[in-house]
């Protein structure tokens, strides 16, 4: 061990905007844009509104702004709500190397504190990159063990460390203060992943739990509470407890040269990221061979061991279960031709045609795919037609991953698809311009009015 936790804390404290490569700055702005777009677009999901209502009752000091609605609440309450919005419908960013949903874990906390403390856009962006690297390195070091054994879930396990480190930096704490915040965050790390078998809307708050716990850890460190040394690499630290193959060297290897944010995935489909290569494979077979639903007798999807159990629900009882069901997602791909929020509905879940096609899909574990798992999420798709012909394809990387990346236009178009109908085309474009140039913004608080509907619009929506 080489005191890796302390090295990460020093990295967060010392990183400057000028040290960040231009491609990393661009990626960070794209992630910020994507996450805020999803927050706006998914903020009216039933569970999103339930979460907002719970936290609105607590009220408290008006420090930060709830996206879309404009509620002014304490920073931690605001961050919890906004994070729940951002993770509300499995449409937020992922990462094949580090797992979880880092944008929704970090951005709501950093935005809430940046608004409260009147932080510049450049400092927000720098802190986000630094916190992402802490969070990313921890997820990388724990892979693939957490995925293979089914948890604890990555966002709840790793997210608090990144959020704690980032918030502590925005609170102007030094390297030791950041380390203390990370150490305290270890008290909060861990969450069961049974949702990928049993559904339930509480999965929608997993990134919010990470956000909230990281913020509380930073606040406690600021107040003088201390945590143990070597919280990540120690004998009873995170890696020892949650990983069979301890690799603490990954926490700091090529730190400041290799950036885990380069592996970020932008989601074109609002379902578990494990399913995305299967969707791309199914789309390819349909297009290449002119297949229709009635032509297909059966579909077999093969995943690596670490992915297999994460997307194997065959009889979903709710929308979350549907979003973690390869069978139902492929049914939407073939029958509806898209996998966006407009297709994942209760009506589709009950649709006899969707259910009939889903019954044709089976999931297999293919251990030979495990060799690619660290940086890829492969899926092999075989479609057998009624005439007995078998069509097969192997997708190593889905659309939106680092290997098949979203362009800047793709990011912007996804943002528009989530935001324009809510705030109007003109306001949407103003938001995009502001986000593209966020590193020139003197005060992040100046951005928030653009992310809130005018009161007249909100009243009109409520009245019907």
Residue 390 CB contacts under 8 Å (≥ 6 apart), including other chains: 382, 383, 384
409 assigned to some structural domain: no
Q: If the chain, 464 residues long, is cut into consecutive pieces of 10 residues, what is the mean pLDDT of each piece? A: 92 98 98 98 94 89 96 97 96 94 98 98 98 97 84 93 98 98 94 80 90 97 96 94 90 97 97 96 97 97 88 92 96 96 96 97 92 85 97 97 96 97 94 97 96 70 36
Q: pLDDT at position 303, please?
A: 95
Question: Are 256 and 304 in a shared domain?
Answer: no
Domain range enclosing 380: 273-395
Q: Which of 265, 298, 315 is the last residue of a domain?
A: 265
**Number of domains present in the structure of the chain:** 2
253 assigned to some structural domain: yes
Instruction: Determine if the pTM surpasses 0.85.
Output: yes
298 assigned to some structural domain: yes
User: What 3-state DSSP class applies to 166?
Assistant: helix
66 DSSP assignment: -
117 assigned to some structural domain: yes
Question: Are 230 and 282 in a shared domain?
Answer: no
- Cα 293 to chain centroid distance, Å, stands at 32
Q: pLDDT at position 457, please?
A: 57
Question: Are 365 and 284 in a shared domain?
Answer: yes
404 assigned to some structural domain: no
377 assigned to some structural domain: yes
Q: pLDDT at position 464, please?
A: 31
Residue 271 CB contacts under 8 Å (≥ 6 apart), including other chains: 90, 279, 322, 323, 324, 329, 339, 344
CA–CA gap between residue 135 and residue 173 (Å, rounded): 18
Q: Which of 352, 371, 395 is the last residue of a domain?
A: 395
Question: Are 314 and 255 in a shared domain?
Answer: no
Q: Which of 233, 265, 297 is the last residue of a domain?
A: 265
444 assigned to some structural domain: no
Question: Are 43 and 149 in a shared domain?
Answer: yes
CATH of the domain at 354: 3.30.1330.120
Question: Are 214 and 282 in a shared domain?
Answer: no
Question: Are 48 and 195 in a shared domain?
Answer: yes
CB 193 within 8 A of CB 155: no
301 assigned to some structural domain: yes
CB 260 within 8 A of CB 98: yes
Question: Are 226 and 292 in a shared domain?
Answer: no
Q: pLDDT at position 458, please?
A: 54
């Amino acid at each position: 061990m080489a005191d890796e936790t302390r090295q990460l804390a020093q990295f967060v404290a010392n990183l400057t905007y000028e040290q960040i490569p231009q491609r990393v700055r661009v990626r960070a702005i794209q992630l910020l844009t994507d996450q805020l777009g999803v927050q706006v677009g998914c903020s009216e999901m039933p569970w999103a509104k339930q979460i907002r209502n719970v936290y609105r009752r607590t009220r408290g000091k008006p420090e930060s702004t709830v996206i879309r609605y404009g509620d002014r609440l304490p920073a931690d309450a605001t961050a919890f709500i906004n994070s729940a919005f951002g993770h509300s419908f499995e449409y937020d960013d992922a990462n094949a190397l580090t797992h979880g949903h880092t944008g929704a874990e970090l951005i709501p906390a950093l935005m809430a504190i940046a608004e409260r403390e009147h932080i510049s856009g450049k400092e927000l962006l720098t802190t986000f990159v630094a916190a992402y690297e802490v969070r990313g390195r921890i997820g990388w070091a724990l892979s693939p063990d957490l995925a293979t054994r089914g948890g604890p879930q990555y966002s709840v396990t790793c997210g608090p460390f990144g959020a704690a480190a980032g918030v502590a930096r925005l609170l102007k704490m030094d390297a030791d203060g950041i380390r203390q915040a990370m150490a305290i965050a270890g008290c909060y790390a861990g969450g069961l992943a049974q949702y990928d078998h049993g559904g339930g809307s509480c999965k929608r708050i997993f990134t919010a739990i990470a956000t909230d716990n990281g913020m509380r850890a930073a606040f406690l460190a600021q107040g003088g509470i201390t945590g143990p040394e070597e919280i990540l690499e120690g004998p009873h630290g995170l890696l020892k407890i949650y990983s069979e193959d301890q690799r603490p060297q990954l926490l700091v290897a090529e730190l400041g040269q290799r950036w885990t944010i380069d592996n970020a995935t932008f989601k074109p489909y609002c379902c578990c990221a494990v399913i995305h290569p299967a969707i791309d494979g199914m789309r390819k077979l349909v297009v290449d061979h002119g297949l229709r639903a009635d032509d297909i007798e059966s579909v077999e999807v093969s995943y690596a061991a670490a992915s297999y159990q994460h997307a194997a629900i065959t009889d979903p009882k709710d929308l979350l279960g549907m979003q973690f069901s390869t069978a139902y997602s492929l049914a939407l791909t073939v029958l509806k031709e898209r996998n966006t929020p407009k297709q994942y509905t209760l009506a589709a879940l009950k649709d006899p045609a969707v259910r009939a096609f889903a019954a044709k899909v089976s999931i297999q574990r293919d251990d030979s795919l495990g060799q690619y798992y660290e940086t890829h999420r492969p899926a092999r798709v075989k479609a057998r037609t009624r005439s007995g012909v078998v069509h097969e394809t192997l997708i190593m990387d889905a659309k939106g991953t680092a290997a098949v990346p979203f362009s800047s236009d793709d990011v912007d178009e996804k943002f528009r698809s989530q935001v324009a109908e809510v705030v109007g085309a003109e306001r949407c474009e103003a938001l995009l311009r502001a986000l593209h140039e966020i590193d020139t913004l003197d005060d992040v608080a100046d951005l928030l009015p653009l992310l809130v509907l005018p009161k007249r619009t909100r009243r009109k929506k409520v009245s019907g």
